[in-house]
A = this chain, B = another copy of it.
Amino acid sequence: MADNVKATHVVGVDLGGTKILAGAFGPGFQCLSRIKISTKPERGPEGVIERIARCVRDVVDEGDLAMNGIRGIGIGAPGAVNTEEGRVIFAPNLDWKDVPLKKLLEKELGVPVFVENDCKLHTLGVFDAELKGKVRHLIGVFLGTGIGAGVIIDGKLYTGFNGSAGEVGHMVIDINGPECACGNRGCFEALASRRAIFRTIQTAVKKGQETLLVEMLGKELDDMRSGDIRKAIRRGDKFVEKVIDQAAEYTGVAVGNLINLFNPEVIVLGGGVIEQLEHEMLPIIEKVAKAHALPGTAKGIEIMATRLGDDAGITGGAVVAMRRTS
């Protein structure tokens, strides 16, 4: 494998259960090119890794670069990752167990590869590229199908004893609440993730609740997306609005807990749910969080939504690739 230390560019890859997004980046984290393809996890790890490699080559070419101009590749995987070995330990959405992603991808591409959990990568992307590393302590909370997070303490990603720090989605905030996929009750993820929001709506519709979503998508609501939720609210659907208000309140309590525990300088929110519903949710989240932080302790702490949107993952990948090869 070539050690392209003189190369100035990097590639960031966001590996999800449905899509692979790759971006080529220059030294200031400006994105030169962007390619999105479907993941096709049913083809197994080798099939997916082939697709990642192709996507990387295509995005390098799209940016008028060559592979020998690439210092490294940073990739975020949706699950537990051993970052030192670059192994994906467990990624349920890909149906992967113990996949040596770094090794296999380096063999395909001949460029150093760095693997990280996707939400930790998003947080690093926000920290370095969006906030320019100007804060010391930052927590990134990402509301998507599930809920993940990244914790930055003293300017460095904090991972804890077993590498799993920041499992914000499984913080219990309602001990008698709905069951979570993890087997416990009332985890933040079981209350405010896209999956939790969709389940609440579907259960109510089955019980006869009327909503514009049925008009828009049919009775089964099968292809419901966060964007549909936003549209229904903006067209005046009070039921859907109430569901989202409730999810925002749970998120506010969770963020309040994070302020009481970590007292970070900034809490940044992201993920598909926030990207679509920031306008509806952020004011409630902020109000509830500050009411739950002990008096005085939230002073000067900023609660914001990331502006990186869909690019948080590839930007974070670029940040990791740049950091690890410097």
Measured CB to CB, the residues of A under 8 A from B are 80, 89, 136-137, 151, 153, 158-168, 170-177, 182-184, 186, 250, 253, 256-258, 260-265, 291-292, 294-301
Q: How far is the CA of A176 from the CA of B175 in the complex (A)?
A: 9
A161-B300, A183-B291 given; 16 more Cβ-contact pairs under 8 Å: A80-B296, A137-B161, A151-B261, A153-B153, A159-B263, A161-B265, A161-B301, A162-B296, A165-B263, A170-B260, A170-B292, A170-B294, A172-B253, A174-B186, A182-B295, A184-B256
Q: Is the CB of A161 within 8 A of B261?
A: no
Q: A261 with B176: in contact, given A170-B292, A292-B184 (CB under 8 Å)?
A: no
- Copies of the protein in its oligomer: 2
- B262 lies within 8 A of A172 (CB): no
Q: Is the CB of A263 within 8 A of B160?
A: yes
13 A-B Cβ contacts within 8 A? A137-B160, A137-B161, A160-B263, A160-B264, A162-B301, A172-B173, A172-B256, A173-B173, A173-B175, A174-B174, A174-B186, A182-B294, A184-B291
The residue among A136, A163, A177, A261 with the most chain B CB atoms within 10 A of its own CB is A261
A172: B residues at CB distance < 8 A:
173, 253, 256-257, 292
Point out the residues of chain B lying under 8 angstroms from A264, CB to CB.
Answer: 160-161
Closest residue to A136 on the B side, CB-wise?
Answer: B161
Contact partners of A300 in chain B: CB under 8 A: 161-162
Contacts of A299 in B (CB 8 A): 162
Contact A171 B260, CB 8 Å, known A162-B296, A300-B161: yes
A80 CA / B294 CA spacing, docked (Å): 11
